Amino acid sequence: MTSQQMSTDTSTLHAALSAFVYHEAMLLDTRRYDEWLSLYAEDGLYWMPLSPDQPLGDEAPSLLYEDLLLLRLRMQRYGNPRAHSLHPAVRGLRILQAPQIAQAEPGSTVHQTRTPFLYVETQGDAQRTLAATAHHTIEGEPGAFKLRMKKVVLLNADASLPAIQLLL
């Protein structure tokens, strides 16, 4: 393999990872939750720690620490007309910086990206903005990527927070 080939492979991979991260956010923006869930690996995890350096695990509180079962539960509730807190309707929008490739080698099976973003959630006349960094752990080949973990670190994870109703 020439160095030019390798660099082409690397940039193709990086572009595919970026596209995956943007696509994932778009599916949440547009509430295409079934497609969003299908991005996840079977043992995938969505995690929002209470501090940037919190160790991974379920033996201390997190803002959110959900496997596919709990994510499905969350989506299932969205569809219930008696999910009172969703009236009036809640809408969310994610404004992403270009994803940074933290770790991605052609031929490797696990890749990592880091994406600072703003999340805006609106309901009735109230609108709130949160700042966060998303760390995606993505496995597999371009075209067949699966999300192993989405870790979202809120800039103010240690602050007292209002109800955040949708996923970031």
Partner 1 sequence: MKDGSFQQGFGHLVGPDQVHRDLYIDPDVYRAEQARLWTRAWVYVGHESQTPAVGDYTTTDIAGQSMIMLRSSGNEVTVLMNRCAHKGSQLVHEHAGNCGKVLRCPYHAWTYRLDGSLLSIPLKNDYEGTNLSACPSGKGLASPGAYVNYKGFVFARISQDGPDFESYFGEALATLDNMVARAPDGELSVLGSPLRNRIGCNWKLYLENVNDTVHPISTHESAASAAKHVAEALPEGGDTVLAMEQLLPFGAGYSFYSEMGARVLPHGHSILGTKFSIHTGYAPLPDYQAELEARHGKEGAQQILAFSPQNTVLYPSLAAKASPMILRVLRPLAVNETLIETWAFAPKNAPARLRQRAASYARLVFSPMSVVAHDDVHLFESQQRGLACDGNEWLSLHRGYQESELQAGASSMESGNNEWVIRNQHRGWLNLMGDAA
Which of 29, 31, 74, 112 is in the footprint of partner 1 by CB under 8 A?
A: 74
Contact status: 96 vs partner 1 (CB under 8 A): no
- The two structure tokens encoding residue 6: 């390798």
DSSP single-letter state for residue 39: T
Q: Round to whole Å and give the CA distance between 9 and 13.
A: 6
Binding-site string for partner 1 from residue 18 to residue 57, where x marks contact by CB under 8 A and - marks none: ------------------------------x-xx--x---
| Region 116-155 residues binding partner 1, contact defined as CB under 8 A | none
Report phi then psi at 161, rounded to 5: -120, 150
Contact status: 162 vs partner 1 (CB under 8 A): yes
Q: Which residue has the tokens 């599916």?
A: 27
- Give 84 or 144: the residue with its C-beta nearer to partner 1: 84
Other CB atoms within 10 A of residue 19 CB = 13
- The two structure tokens encoding residue 124: 């009735």
Q: Report the nearest approach of partner 1 to the CB of residue 159 (Å).
A: 7
Which candidate, 130, 128, 117, 121, places its Cα nearest to that of 165? Answer: 121
- Give 4 or 160: the residue with its C-beta nearer to partner 1: 160
Helix (H) or strand (E) holding 10: helix 3-29
- Give 10 or 165: the residue with its C-beta nearer to partner 1: 165
Contacts with partner 1 by CB under 8 A lie at: 48, 50-51, 54, 58-65, 69-70, 72-74, 76-77, 80, 82-85, 158-165
